[in-house]
Amino acid sequence: MTGNKETSHKRYGILALVFVSVVINYMDRSNISIAAFALTEELGLTSVQMGLIFSAFAWTYATLQIPGGLLVDLVRPRILYTAMLSLWSIATLLQGFANSFAGLLGYRMSIGLFEAPSYPANNRIVTSWFPENERASAIALYTSGQYIGLAFLTPTLIAIQNFMGWRGLFIISGIIGLVWAGIWYVFYRDPLHHKSVSQAELKYISEGGGLIDMGTKAKIAQKEGFDWAAFKQAFVYRKLWGVYIGQFCLGSTFIFFLTWFPTYLVKYRGMDFLESGFLASIPFLAAFFGVILSGFTSDFLIRKGYSAEVARKAPVLLGMLLSICIIGANYTDQKSLIILFLAIAFFGNGFASITWIFVSTMAPKSLIGHIGGVFNFVGGMSAIVVPTAIGFLVEDADFSPALIFIATLSLIGLLSYIFLVGKVERISLKESS
C-alpha cells in the first residue's frame, strides 16, 4: 500500500466536512450554558427548571442512539446528515423565540433527538473513506472538533450574546447550522459516488481496509428491512461490552468538565469567575492536544508494524491511567496544582478518545452504524448519570468524593479494556451465539 501513488486526496476534504459538522454540533449543545443566566432572569425560571433544561438534551440523545445507529446503516450520509443538521438547527433557532419553560425543554429534547445519529454517522463516514492505518488519526481529528468548539467558540458566542441577546445567540447558531446543511448536501458523496476521487485513491482506501461500498450495503439493507437477529449481535460479545463500559467511563470524565467543572472552580475552590473562565480553558486545550496526539500515535504504531492490540489500546490505556490523576486535586489548595492535575486528567481523556476506532475495526461490516449507536448510547448515559451522582456526592459542600468517583470510573474503564476487549479484530456475524 505504501507504494500506491494516489492521484487525489478527496478523503481529507471529506474529513474537513465532518470536522466542521462536529464543531457546529457542540456549539448547539453548549450555547444553552452561555444563555442560561440571561434567559433565567427574563423567563423567571428556577434553578430546578434550568437543571431539567440542561439535562433534556442528554435524555433524548442517549435514548435514541440505538435507533439512530440503525438509521445510519439504512440511509446514506449525504441525505441523513443534511436532514439531521437542518432539523437540529431549526430547533436551535426556535429556542430564540421560546417564552416558557415547556418550550425550551421541548426544543432541547428536539436537538438531542436530531443529533442522535451524528456520531454513528461520523464513524461510518470515516470507515468508508479511510484505510485502517489512517483511521485513528481521522477519528482523532474530527473528535477534536468538540474540544475546539468548547475551548475557542465560547468567547465568540459570548460576544454574540452581548450584541444580540440570548435570543440572537440561538437564532445565529441555528442559521449557521442551516447554511452548513446546504454545504454538506452539495459537497458530500460516498467514495463510489464521488466524481472527482481517483481510482488510485479508491484502491488505496479499499486495499487498506476502508469499506468504500457501504453506500451499496445500505441500499441492500433498505430492501431487506429490519433484522432482529442482526440487532442482537450488538449485545452478545464480551469484547463489545468491554468497549461499551469503557466508553461510559471515558464519557464520565468529559461530562464532568462539560457540566460541573466551572462550578467546582468558583464555588468549591473559591476562584474568581473571570479568572475561572481563563483557567478553565487550560484543561480543554490539554484535551485537544491529547486527542490529536493519540490518533497520530496510534496510526504511527500501526505503520511501524505493531499489532492492533498495542497500537489501538495503548493510547486508551495510557489516557485512562492519566485520567485517574484527577484525584490529585483533592490533595492541594494551590490553584496552579489544581489546574495541573485537572489538565493532566483531561489530556488523558483526550488521549483515550479514539475509542471509535474499536467500532470501526471490530463491528461486523453490515452493523457498524447499529453497534456505533449502542456504543454511543452507553457513553451518552454518562451525561445523565454523572451530573446527577455528583450533585448527591457534593451535598456536604465537599467536592472530594466527586473527584474520587470520576477517578474510580476511569480505573474501571482501564480494567474493562484490559480484561474484556481482548483481541482487536472484526467480528463475523456467523460467530453469533
C-alpha cell of 134?
489512517
Of 44-48, 106-110, 122-126, which range is least confident?
A: 44-48
How large is the average pLDDT for residues 29-44? Answer: 81
User: What is each CA distance from 111 to 24, 211, 373, in whole angstroms?
Assistant: 12, 30, 17
Closest listed residue to residue 233, CA positions, set 357, 73, 77? 73
Tell me the per-residue pLDDT of 156-181, one tens digit each, with 9 for 90 and over.
787 888 889 999 999 999 999 999 99
Whole-number pLDDT of residue 216: 55
Whole-number pLDDT of residue 229: 66
Tell me the per-residue pLDDT of 66-75, one tens digit each, with 9 for 90 and over.
788 888 888 8
- Burial (CB count <10 Å: 0-12, 13-18, 19+), residue 185: middle
What band does 227 get if pLDDT is binned at 50, 70 and 90? low
Whole-number pLDDT of residue 230: 64
249 or 258, which is more confident: 249
| Neighbouring C-beta atoms of residue 40, cutoff 10 Å | 16
How large is the average pLDDT for residues 180-197? Answer: 92
Type and span of the H or E element at 48: helix 47-63
In a 13 Å sphere around the CA of 89, the CA atoms on its Cβ side amount to 20
CA gap 378, 393 in Å, rounded: 22
**Sequence-separated contacts (24+) of 383-386 with Cβ below 8 Å:** 383/55, 383/57, 383/58, 383/61, 383/62, 383/251, 383/255, 383/258, 384/55, 384/58, 384/59, 384/62, 385/252, 386/251, 386/252, 386/255, 386/256, 386/259
Whole-number pLDDT of residue 432: 41
User: What is each CA distance from 281 to 161, 261, 327, 328, 361, in whole angstroms?
Assistant: 19, 11, 19, 19, 33
Look over the chain and give the mean of its residue pLDDT values, rounded to a whole number: 85
Whole-number pLDDT of residue 94: 96
Whole-number pLDDT of residue 325: 96
- What CATH number was assigned to the domain covering residues 7-225? 1.20.1250.20
Record: fold of 227-433: Growth Hormone; Chain: A; (1.20.1250)
Say yes or no: do domains 7-225 and 227-433 share a fold. yes
Tell me the per-residue pLDDT of 357-394, one tens digit each, with 9 for 90 and over.
888 788 887 777 778 878 888 988 888 888 878 887 88
| Neighbouring C-beta atoms of residue 141, cutoff 10 Å | 20
C-alpha cell of 225?
428491512
pTM confidence score = 0.72
What band does 418 get if pLDDT is binned at 50, 70 and 90? very high
Task: Give the contacts of 416 (CB within 8 A, at least 6 positions apart).
Answer: 242, 243, 245, 246, 249
The helix/strand/coil state of 390 is: helix
C-alpha cell of 332?
492541594
Would you list the domain boundaries of the chain?
7-225, 227-433
402 or 292, which is more confident: 402
How large is the average pLDDT for residues 231-248? Answer: 89
What band does 1 get if pLDDT is binned at 50, 70 and 90? very low
Whole-number pLDDT of residue 277: 59
- Side chain identity at residue 231, one-letter code: F
